């Protein structure tokens, strides 16, 4: 899949030993609590890291040992012992080649390069080369063509880099469908595919024309220059693009390697996608800035079943020190026997993106014998804001303490999101962050309304509290709360109880529309392999163990696979739509003999949030008006936007 790339590699299957050398790139900090964070901050950040842009950081990291392996790329989990290796000398040469190529194609500091690529080495060349020449815009290639088109339009994409037409991938088909509908687009670059004219170029043929020993252009990169535009938020309406600066990313890279204890001899596993900040930062610029080793777990990452199946063999083979994941990945890995694999090199797993069940935390640590460091972050904060300290107390269920050189607090806001006051210790409010890692707002000005609760303080939209030791605890998002007759129910209070059952691999609680209470809680469960537990048994268990009566689910649905986002988070909107369809279909039984056939579909609506579409085939002799009147009567006490199609 990655033939013809302009790099020198070691033959697959051969060993290469990293040359030992001192960690000249980083100081070592034993962070055990807030006192250590405060001690670190007595030295100005600029005195710790001289570089203020990502290209300079990567140049310095590559210079630590140009012969060391930067990337071991696995084509799949089935060939886990046959890596393609790329040295730091080759990594930085290919980044320079891409930067020179983009500059020659007209990319300057204000211009955008978008990419649609899986996790392959070329993605790193394009990512960092684009930031050196201009601004990079990673896009999830699994999105629908219309959404990709809209993101490109919002970003003002001038160059689009995408995977060519290969078996098992529809990325190039999506590019063909949208490339003529992006007004700013001037060039399309096809990775592992041919060009077909002046506007569509072959990456492999074009990039080799440019030198890799230097940049052919001069660009003084200021710390506040925008480096990247990351898509965040929903997939309808005007795309929400976060504007992040070079300094945002440099600061974040340093924070992560400091809190994670990275050194030049560290080996990290990359399984999260490279269109997401976790993949590009925790398993990208952080290790690359030190000359450390990154093992790329196939183009599909954790979504590749063969990677999961052979995960512990991979850990042993590469002596991996840590990996970054989301709760659903840890849940899946608990079903994989460690066997006789030697995984003693694993120091910890960083888990974020969604709250981790306390029960899952304990079960995973017991299964692997390694530490789990729960953290928290978001695109707008460059990646991470807090983490449990690796050397100190890990408060299970918390998201840890704030990272050095950034601030984090809980604030009380009014109904319009305006600042009222800082929350007291233990008081629930909105989590806000500030510091050199915080982004410069969204591209679309309307998205910036109300996001700053105070000067420089970004309202994350998450609810939480801080304890007396400076540890933060998430309590949910306002939009995720289940509101039953005015009573707020945190889905985690249901999920946490269900996760105590060994049979439960994944649990997700969502609201079900109710004509009386507005919403009632229901839960979806993905069972562990081999479990024979029934929905009735799960519901009985929930009734006995959930202390809050209002939080007891009205129903529990067992499904084969809980839907996930490409990053591995539980995609709760799909579950909400599913339960809406179930309850509406049940209510429509009241049509009786008035209808021959009835179907319901629910989905996202740009204006109303959710729309329910009801399709009815009337029985003989029934008029459209009679059907509509009856449906209106049935759903008189429901609040969701509804469309009726009769015919």
> Which residues, at least 6 apart from 627, have a Cβ–Cβ distance to it below 8 Å?
591, 594, 595, 616, 618, 644, 646
Residues 486 and 401 placed together within one structural domain of the fold: no
d(C-alpha 498, C-alpha 520), whole Å: 17
Are both 581 and 524 inside the same structural domain? no
Most distant CA atoms of the chain, gap in Å: 86
Coil vs helix vs strand at 491: helix
In a domain, 472, yes or no: no
Q: What single DSSP character describes residue 570?
A: B
pLDDT of residue 568: 83
Could you report the per-residue pLDDT of 315-332, keeping only the tens digit for each?
Answer: 999 999 999 988 878 888
Q: What's the half-sphere exposure (Cβ side, CA atoms, 13 Å) at 301?
A: 26
130 by DSSP, 3-state: which? helix
Alpha-helix residue ranges (DSSP H) falling in 241-322: 246-260, 277-280, 286-288, 305-309, 311-318
Surface-to-core class of residue 112, CB atoms within 10 Å of its CB (0-12 exposed, 13-18 middle, 19+ buried): buried
pLDDT value of residue 567 = 79
| Residue 475 is assigned to a structural domain of this protein | no
Last residue of a domain, one of 520, 552, 570: 570
Average pLDDT over residues 588-597: 92
- pLDDT exceeds cutoff 60 at 271: yes
Segment 481-501 shows an average pLDDT of 84
pLDDT surpassing 90 at residue 1: no
Mean pLDDT, rounded, for 109-121: 98
CA-to-CA separations, 597 to 56, 208, 284, 636, in angstroms, rounded = 64, 61, 53, 21
Domain count, the chain: 3
Which residue has better confidence, 538 or 50? 538
pLDDT given for residue 415 in this prediction: 79
Same structural domain, 456 and 512: no
DSSP state of 564: B
Does the pLDDT of residue 481 top 90, yes or no? no
CATH number at residue 326: 3.40.50.12780
Question: Mind listing the pLDDT tens digit for each residue in 35-69?
Answer: 999 999 999 988 888 899 999 999 999 999 999 99
Domain C-terminal end among 538, 570, 602: 570
Residue 203 lies in a domain: yes
Please state the separation of Cα 197 from the chain's center in Å.
36
- The answer on 521 and 459 residing in a single domain is no
Over 60: is that where the pLDDT of 12 sits?
no
Would the CA dihedral through 439, 372, 331, 316 be positive or negative? positive
**Mean pLDDT value of segment 186-202:** 92
The answer to whether position 523 is within a domain reads yes
95 in helix, strand or coil? helix
Q: Is residue 530 part of a domain?
A: yes
The reply to whether 255 and 169 lie within a common domain is yes
Question: What value, to the nearest 5°, has the Cα angle with vertex 113 and ends 64 and 456?
Answer: 80
Q: Are residues 440 and 523 in the same domain?
A: no
Residues 164 and 89 in one domain: yes
Is residue 151 in some structural domain? yes
Q: What is the mean pLDDT of the chain?
A: 90
Same domain? For 175 and 29 the reply is: yes
CATH of the domain at 493: 3.30.300.30
Residues 490 and 369 grouped into a single domain: no
Domain region containing 592: 577-646
Which pLDDT score is estimated for 85? Answer: 98
Answer with the one of 524, 545, 570 that is the final residue of a domain: 570
> Is residue 132 located within the same domain as residue 218?
yes
How many CB atoms neighbour CB 564 within 10 A?
Answer: 17
- pLDDT tens digits, residue range 394-432? 998 889 999 999 999 999 998 788 999 999 999 989 999
- CA nearest to 125, candidates 185, 221, 192: 192
In this structure, the answer to whether residues 261 and 379 fall within a common structural domain is yes
Question: Which band of pLDDT confidence, cut at 50, 70 and 90, is reported for residue 235?
Answer: very low
Residue 5 banded pLDDT, cuts 50, 70, 90: very low
Distance separating alpha carbons of residues 417 and 309, to the nearest angstrom: 46
Assess whether pLDDT exceeds 60 at residue 6.
no
Does 488 share its domain with 605? no
Residue 476 in any domain: the answer is no
Task: Tell me, letter by letter, the H, E, C secondary structure of 30-80.
Answer: CCCCHHHHHHHCCCCHHHHCCCCCHHHHHHHHHHHCCCCEEEEEECCHHHC
Strand partners, 230: 242
Q: What is the mean pLDDT of residues 335-363?
A: 84
- Whether 358 maps to a domain, the answer reads yes
| Residue range 480-492: mean pLDDT, rounded | 78
Say which range, 4-18, 245-259, 420-434, 627-641, has the weakest mean pLDDT.
4-18
């Amino acid at each position: 899949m990655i033939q013809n790339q302009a790099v020198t590699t070691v033959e697959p299957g051969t060993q290469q030993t990293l040359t030992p050398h001192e960690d000249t790139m980083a100081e070592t900090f034993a962070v055990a609590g807030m006192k250590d964070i405060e001690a670190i901050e007595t030295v100005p950040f600029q005195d710790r890291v001289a570089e203020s842009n990502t290209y300079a950081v990567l140049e310095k990291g590559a210079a630590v040992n140009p012969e060391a392996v930067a990337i071991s790329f696995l084509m799949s989990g089935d060939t886990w012992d046959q890596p393609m290796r790329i040295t730091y000398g080759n990594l930085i040469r290919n980044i320079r080649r891409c930067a020179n190529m983009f500059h020659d194609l007209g990319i300057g500091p204000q211009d955008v390069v978008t990419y649609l690529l899986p996790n392959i080495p070329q993605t790193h060349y394009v990512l960092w080369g684009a930031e050196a020449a201009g601004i990079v815009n990673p896009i999830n290639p699994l999105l629908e063509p219309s959404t990709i088109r809209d993101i490109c339009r919002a970003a003002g994409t001038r160059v689009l880099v995408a995977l060519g037409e290969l078996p098992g991938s529809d990325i190039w088909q999506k590019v063909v469908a949208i490339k003529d509908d992006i007004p700013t687009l001037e060039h399309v670059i096809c990775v592992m595919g041919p060009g077909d004219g002046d506007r569509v170029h072959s990456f492999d043929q074009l990039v080799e024309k440019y030198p890799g020993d230097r940049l052919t252009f001069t660009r003084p990169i200021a710390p506040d220059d925008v480096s990247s535009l990351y898509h965040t938020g929903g997939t309808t309406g005007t795309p929400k693009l976060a504007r992040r600066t070079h300094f945002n990313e440099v600061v974040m890279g340093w924070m992560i390697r400091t809190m994670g204890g990275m050194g030049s001899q560290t080996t990290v596993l990359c399984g999260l996608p490279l269109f997401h900040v976790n993949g590009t930062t925790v398993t990208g610029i952080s290790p690359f800035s030190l000359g450390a080793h990154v093992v790329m777990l196939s183009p599909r990452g954790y979504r590749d079943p063969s990677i999961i199946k052979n995960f512990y063999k991979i850990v042993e083979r590469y002596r991996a020190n840590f990996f970054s994941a989301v709760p659903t990945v840890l849940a899946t890995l608990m079903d994989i026997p460690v066997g006789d694999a030697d995984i003693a090199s694993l120091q910890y797993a960083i888990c974020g993106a969604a709250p981790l069940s306390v029960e899952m935390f304990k079960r995973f640590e017991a299964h692997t014998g390694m530490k789990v460091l729960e953290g928290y972050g978001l695109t707008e904060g460059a990646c991470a804001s807090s983490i449990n300290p690796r050397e100190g107390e890990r408060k299970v269920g918390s998201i840890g303490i704030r990272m050095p050189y950034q601030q984090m607090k809980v604030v009380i806001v009014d109904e319009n999101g305006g600042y009222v006051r800082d929350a007291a210790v233990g008081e629930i409010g909105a989590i806000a962050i500030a510091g050199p890692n915080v982004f410069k707002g969204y591209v679309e000005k309307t998205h910036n309304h109300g996001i700053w609760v105070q000067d420089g303080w970004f309202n994350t939209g998450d609810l939480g509290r801080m304890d007396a030791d400076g540890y933060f605890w998430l309590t949910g998002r306002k939009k995720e709360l289940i509101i039953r007759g005015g009573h707020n129910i945190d889905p985690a209070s249901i999920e946490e109880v269900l996760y105590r059952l060994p049979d439960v691999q994944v649990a997700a609680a969502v609201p079900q529309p109710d004509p009386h209470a507005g919403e009632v809680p229901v839960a979806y469960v993905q069972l562990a392999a081999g479990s024979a537990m029934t929905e009735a048994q799960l519901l009985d268990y929930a009734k006995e163990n959930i202390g809050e009566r209002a939080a007891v689910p009205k129903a529990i649905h067992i499904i084969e696979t809980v839907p996930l986002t490409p990053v591995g988070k539980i995609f709760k909107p799909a579950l909400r739509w599913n339960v809406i369809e179930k309850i509406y279909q049940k209510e429509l039984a009241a049509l009786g003999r008035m209808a021959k056939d009835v179907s319901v579909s629910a989905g996202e609506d740009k204006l109303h949030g959710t729309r329910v579409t009801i399709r009815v085939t009337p029985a003989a002799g029934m008029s459209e008006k009679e059907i509509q009147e009856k449906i209106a009567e049935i759903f008189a006490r429901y609040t969701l936007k509804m469309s009726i199609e009769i015919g």
